[in-house]
Amino acid sequence: MNQADTEIVTSLLQSEGFVPTGDEASAGIILLNSCAVRENAVDRIGNFLQQLKGRKRRNRALVIGVLGCVPQFEKERFFDAHPFIDFVAGPDTYRSLPSMIAQVREGARVVRLEYDHRETYSGIDPVRSGRIGTFLPVMRGCNNSCAFCVVPVTRGRERSVPFRRVVDEVSKLAASGYREVTLLGQNVNSYHDAEDGRDFAALLDAVSREAPGMRIRFTTSHPKDISRELVEVIAGRPNICNHIHLPVQSGSSRILELMRRGHTREEYLRRIEMIRSIIPGVALTTDLIAGFCSETDEEHRQTLSLMEEVRFDSSFMFYYSVRPGTWADRNLQDDVPEPVKKARLQEIIDLQNVISLERYRQDIGRSVEVLAESESRRAVSQLMGRTGTNRAVVFDRGEFAPGDLLQVHVTDATSATLVGVTAGAA
């Protein structure tokens, strides 16, 4: 979402005459788009700001602004703690960036952190960084209140881009040569058009029909909002990728309740069963948190057993770090010792690696459809692409180029990549 927001910010500034530079040393304005979702990301922004402090001392005319979730979450105290920052801007205020910069150049320090529950930035043509695939935000914000999460505070209430506008955008992307689009939202499957209530299943169906030559992906979905109707649309439309990212966070119903996730282990598993019965061969990925407040060894083992049962293709795995101001911070004790959290996380990672390797190796000997995305990092004679199930594939390029859809015969696999040889155009 931050990458998509940065593309919007770039567009807003370019239309006012600002020019991006690839050379940080020559920049007159430096904007950091920050993420508050994990402690690690916040620390990285802090480290980067320390580097900028010296530069600002040497060049008083340099304008430094911090955008996004960190100032939105930490409010004025973030601004006060970094006196060399010229302005901070929350995620709903980007349309005002040119005027904020003008105010700074007149000597002011500016704080803009108000929410705008209607802002979706629809109508702005982002300066897209990708050429083969791109992101398209279709909704912003989140109405859930997961105990560990800062998003409801940083991004505010849910709002959706009008249905017709999303479909038109996808049509434009197809006409400009994009081969893949990922529909984005913090809770994308709770999308609904404010005018007529059409939901995410209807949107996905319409988008896939509008651009039948494009691959359609979406992220991130909430388990409680995965409807049978939505899964049937995915199964029925050939250009919607058979991959669902469905965060579970824990395999213990007690911990899920403490996390305020709105579903139990059993309900999650029933959703998985429903999805697999409608889309055989679907790839499922997830997010997992080790060592949430009061998690016991037995509850940790329930997470491992859920992983064994579902057999996710891959997972984003973290150990719990309390985010100040969240419900968990205010109401629960972060009482699992850090060494225990780390040991549990390692067990989760080790198990996921075993499962991923096993699942990826199942593709050896098969032909898979791949959208070539770029040259491989290892050799220019090779390309890297992805299957519809979102598996990375590396193969000798032959006569193919990024943007081509082709068949690759898989000859080998690691737990993160398939290796193969081209078997012709798809």
Min dist. Cβ of residue 419 to ligand SF4 (A)? 34
Min dist. Cβ of residue 187 to ligand SF4 (A)? 5
Secondary element (H or E) of residue 108: none
- Is 144 a binder of ligand SF4 (CB under 6 A)? yes
Q: Which stretch binds ligand SF4 (CB under 6 A): 147-155, 177-185, 196-204, 348-356?
A: 147-155
Out of 35, 52, 149, 406, the residue judged to bind ligand SF4 by CB under 6 A: 149
Out of 69, 104, 111, 146, the residue judged to bind ligand SF4 by CB under 6 A: 146
* DSSP codes of every residue in 68-91: EHHHHHHTHHHHHH-TT--EEE-T
User: Which residue stretches of 237-296 are H helix?
Assistant: 253-258, 265-278
- Is 142 a binder of ligand SF4 (CB under 6 A)? yes
Min dist. Cβ of residue 144 to ligand SF4 (A)? 4
- Is 256 a binder of ligand SF4 (CB under 6 A)? no
- Is 29 a binder of ligand SF4 (CB under 6 A)? no
- Could you tell me the two tokens for 42? 């916040």
Preceding peptide of 220 cis, ω within 30°: yes
Min dist. Cβ of residue 3 to ligand SF4 (A)? 17
Task: Give the contact letters, 100-139, x = binds to ligand SF4 (CB under 6 A), - = no.
Answer: ----------------------------------------
CB neighbour list of residue 13: distance below 8 Å, 6 or more residues apart = 20, 97, 98
Residues touching ligand SF4, count (CB under 6 A):
10
Q: Which stretch binds ligand SF4 (CB under 6 A): 149-157, 160-168, 226-234, 347-355?
A: 149-157
- Is 323 a binder of ligand SF4 (CB under 6 A)? no
Out of 152, 385, 388, 420, the residue judged to bind ligand SF4 by CB under 6 A: 152
149 vs 201 by CB, closer to ligand SF4 = 149
Min dist. Cβ of residue 379 to ligand SF4 (A)? 38
How, if at all, do strands 283-290 and 243-245 pair?
parallel
Min dist. Cβ of residue 394 to ligand SF4 (A)? 32
* DSSP codes of every residue in 375-414: E-SS-TTEEEEEETT--EEEEE-TT--TT-EEEEEEEEE-
Out of 4, 67, 138, 151, the residue judged to bind ligand SF4 by CB under 6 A: 151
Q: For residues 89 and 79, is the Cβ–Cβ distance under 8 A?
A: no
Helix, strand, coil % over all residues of the chain, rounded to 5: 40, 25, 40
Exposed / middle / buried, residue 424 (Cβ in 10 Å: 0-12, 13-18, 19+): exposed
Secondary element (H or E) of residue 200: helix 200-210
Task: Give the contact letters, 196-235, x = binds to ligand SF4 (CB under 6 A), - = no.
Answer: --------------------------x-------------
**Interface with ligand SF4 in residues 360-389 (CB under 6 A):** none
End-to-end Cα spacing for the chain: 31
CB atoms within 10 A of CB 407: 14
Min dist. Cβ of residue 305 to ligand SF4 (A)? 22
Q: For residues 384 and 392, is the Cβ–Cβ distance under 8 A?
A: yes
Min dist. Cβ of residue 223 to ligand SF4 (A)? 9
Task: Give the contact letters, 68-107, x = binds to ligand SF4 (CB under 6 A), - = no.
Answer: ----------------------------------------
The dihedral region occupied by 424, where left means phi > 0, alpha psi between -120 and 50, and beta the remainder, is left
Exposed / middle / buried, residue 43 (Cβ in 10 Å: 0-12, 13-18, 19+): exposed
Q: C-alpha angle 394/400/402, rounded to 5°? A: 70
Out of 93, 186, 242, 389, the residue judged to bind ligand SF4 by CB under 6 A: 186
CA distance 76 to 94: 17
Q: Which stretch binds ligand SF4 (CB under 6 A): 19-27, 130-138, 144-152, 365-373?
A: 144-152
**Interface with ligand SF4 in residues 382-421 (CB under 6 A):** none
Binding site for ligand SF4 (CB under 6 A): 142, 144-146, 149, 151-152, 186-187, 222
